[in-house]
Amino acid sequence: DVKVTQSSRYLVKRTGEKVFLECVQDMDHENMFWYRQDPGLGLRLIYFSYDVKMKEKGDIPEGYSVSREKKERFSLILESASTNQTSMYLCATQLGVRYGYTFGSGTRLTVV
Amino acid sequence: EDKVVQSPLSLVVHEGDTVTLNCSYEVTNFRSLLWYKQEKKAPTFLFMLTSSGIEKKSGRLSSILDKKELSSILNITATQTGDSAIYLCAVEAEGGSEKLVFGKGTKLTVNP
C-alpha cells in the first residue's frame, strides 16, 4: 500500500510565522496535491504538482506556495501565517488520472 | 470494506443533452458525500452533501443524496463541451481524513 506521511498531526503557530507542511510518499506517484478541509466547505485544492519542479495553482492558492524538489516530497509553505489559515491540511497522491487518491492523515494547523 | 461505486464508467453525449451520473456507497459511519470534477490533472470540488443538506444546485449542475438508498446522482443539464471531464464521487466517514473514499469516476465526453 502507498503510504503518504505528513510530518505533523497537530501544529500551533503564531500569526506572521513562516510555516512548512511536509508531505512524503513512498511510491512513484506522479501527482501530489495539497488540500485544506473546512467544515461545510469540503476539500478545496490549494496547489498540485504532476512532476518534479512542476506546480500549478488550485482553487485557493492565495497565501500559500509549494515546493517539489524531489518526486516523493511535496511541501506546502505559508509565507506569513494568518488566523484564517487555521484548518486541516491534507496531502494526497495519485498514480495518474482515474486512479484513486491516497491521502495523508492530515495536519491540523491552528494559527493564533 | 468501505467502497464507492460510480456508474457509468464512461459516457459520450452531444451538446445540449442532459446527463445523470450515479454514485453508490457502502461506508461505516457516513458523514458526507462529495462530487469533484477532474480535468487534466487535479479534481476541483463541486458539491458536498450531508444529512442536513441532501440537495445542492449550481447553475446547470445539481446533485441529490439518497441516504436510504446509499446513493447520489449528479445531473448536468444542457451539456457543453467544457463539461467534458472525469466526475469523481467521494464519501467521507466519521473518523477523519483517512476515511475519504473515492470512486473511480465517470468519464464524460460532450461532443459538439
Other C-beta atoms lying within 10 Å of the C-beta of residue A94: 23
Which backbone phi and psi does A30 adopt, to 5 degrees? Answer: -75, -45
State the DSSP H helix or E strand holding residue B39, giving kind and residue range, or none if neither. strand B30-39
Q: Do B48 and A42 touch (CB under 8 A)?
A: yes
CB of A55 within 8 A of CB of A49? Answer: yes
CB contact B93 to A (< 8 Å): no
Closest Cβ–Cβ partner in B34, B48, B86 for A97: B86
* pLDDT one-digit tens code per residue, B4-57: 899 998 999 999 999 999 999 998 888 888 898 877 655 777 888 887 778 999
Give the whole-number percent of chain A exceeding pLDDT 90: 51
| Domain ranges, ordered by start, for chain B | 3-111
* pLDDT one-digit tens code per residue, A11-26: 999 999 999 999 999 9
Which grid cell is B68? Answer: 436510504
**DSSP assignments along A66-88, one per residue:** EEEEETTEEEEEESS--GGG-EE
CB contact B41 to A (< 8 Å): yes
Identify the bridge partners of residue A36 per DSSP, sorted by sequence position. A44, A89
Which grid cell is B58? Answer: 449550481
**Structural domains of chain A, ranges and CATH numbers in brackets:** 4-102 (2.60.40.10)
CB of B68 within 8 A of CB of B84? Answer: no
- Rounded Cα distance between B105 and B16, Å, is 22
**In the CATH hierarchy, which fold is given to the domain comprising B3-111?**
Immunoglobulin-like (2.60.40)
Pairing of strands A56-57, A64-70: unpaired
- Could you tell me the CA-to-CA distances from A86 to A15, A23, B45, B52 in Å, in that order? 10, 18, 20, 24
